[in-house]
Amino acid sequence: MIDINILRTNPEIVRENIKKKYQDAKLPLVDEVVELDKKNRSLKQEGDDLRAQRNKLSSEIGNLMREKKFDEAEKIKAEVKAEADRLAQIEEEQTSLDDEIKKRMMLIPNIIDESVPIGKDDSENVEIQKFGEPKVPAFEIPYHADILEKLGGLDKESSGRTSGNGFYYLMGDPARLVSAMISYARDYMIDKGFTYCIPPFMIRSDVVNGVMSFAEMDAMMYKIEGEDLFLIGTSEHSMIGKFKDQILKEKELPITMTSYSPCFRKEVGAHGLEERGIYRVHQFEKQEMIVLCKPEESMEWYNKMWSYTVEIFRNLNIPVRTLECCSGDLADLKVKSCDVEAWSPRQQKYFEVGSCSTLGDAQARRLGIRAKGENGNYYVHTLNNTVLASTRALIAFLENNLNEDGTISIPEALRPYMGGKSVIEKKI
């Protein structure tokens, strides 16, 4: 949610930003908010004037009563009563206007950074940099589900019986490998100075509405029937929600945290979820990172955060690239975002394994997260980044560390988490 002062002073900036995001259907919201805000401020002024008048008249009543001018006092009391009734009416109208303004403000996209490339959708995202040499071995790379089956590590037939499409059983060394990667990513982030946390895996609707747009919520989150709780699609949501309605001490900033959680996603629109593979699923595990910082420090943290993910994947012997998200591919709350994509030697192309975003003060405004500075309170900036998501990281790892004989090499960084193993042997 943007600062309403931008709409008051320069609504054209907001209109231009909506156009850059190719959301022209939202343009009428600008004029609607401006008009509703004018009415609201006019009512506020009227209410302030009435309160000042009421205080003045109350003082007069006291004087008249002391002078025993009871008739005159009663007349003024009637006047005060009429003003009190009008004040109650004004407050009711203001509450209604506040709701209408907020409802529209929640739909207006955040102002994107000037460095964001302009484009309609993800097909116009821009490659920034490659890390590591993408290689295609002389032997054929099987589909990841086939690799896992030969390692004795994947059972989707059983998960189909227990849970339906989009779920899976991981077993044996591949399951251990996932835990090893998550543990390595956790320790890597702790070594970078991030505080480790296991957050709640369910959050209330007011937190959901604070961290994401309505469209994202509908597409992603599972609602717990009969309760005001949602299963998290990513732990950044409960991590940011931890600071809801808090005034932080400026000296505590930046707050840097890394979290583990399972993630649950509806994947609405993902027609024909993979029958055999684990690329797009309803459940996976993830190591995440978030930062709450001063506004002037957010871009510095943004660049640090995605670089951490790049380094982790390079240490797992996986070539990656960063891809700048264009304006039309940015979720409404995001100021700037980039994807980290891993190389697939089987497909001979890159695929997304993580995303880093700075949201400016949009989430902080929605959730009431402020810091107390020398010149008063201000909204902090929030950032989030995928450290490692289990299923997609596993796919990238298997393809890039597969040997011709079907075994999987274990990079040195993971060996302490794999009982010292340097190779995973195939079972079939």
Tens-place pLDDT, residues 350-400 = 999 999 999 999 999 999 999 999 989 999 999 999 999 999 999 999 999
Q: What is the pLDDT of residue 269?
A: 58
What domains appear along the chain, each with residue ranges and CATH number? 4-105 (1.10.287.40), 122-424 (3.30.930.10)
pTM of structure:
0.89
Q: What is the pLDDT of residue 268?
A: 62
Q: What is the pLDDT of residue 92?
A: 92
Q: What is the pLDDT of residue 427?
A: 83
Q: What is the pLDDT of residue 377?
A: 96
Low-confidence ranges of the chain (pLDDT < 50): none
Give all strands (DSSP E) within 188-254, no chain letters.
195-197, 202-203, 222-223, 230-231, 247-249
Which DSSP category does 62 fall into?
A: H
Which DSSP category does 402 fall into?
A: B
Q: What is the pLDDT of residue 37?
A: 94
CA distances in angstroms from 25 to 19, 21, 30, 106, 327, listed in the order given: 9, 11, 11, 15, 16
As a whole number of angstroms, the distance between CA 134 and CA 347 comes to: 11
As a whole number of angstroms, the distance between CA 205 and CA 368 comes to: 15
Tokens 């891993």 locate to: 342
As a whole number of angstroms, the distance between CA 270 and CA 29 comes to: 30
As a whole number of angstroms, the distance between CA 269 and CA 277 comes to: 18
User: What is the CA angle 13-292-378, rounded to 5?
Assistant: 55
Tens-place pLDDT, residues 45-97 = 988 888 888 777 777 777 777 777 777 777 777 777 877 888 888 999 999 99
Q: Which residues, 6+ apart, have CB-to-CB distance to 18 below 8 Å?
A: 24, 26, 27, 30, 108, 109
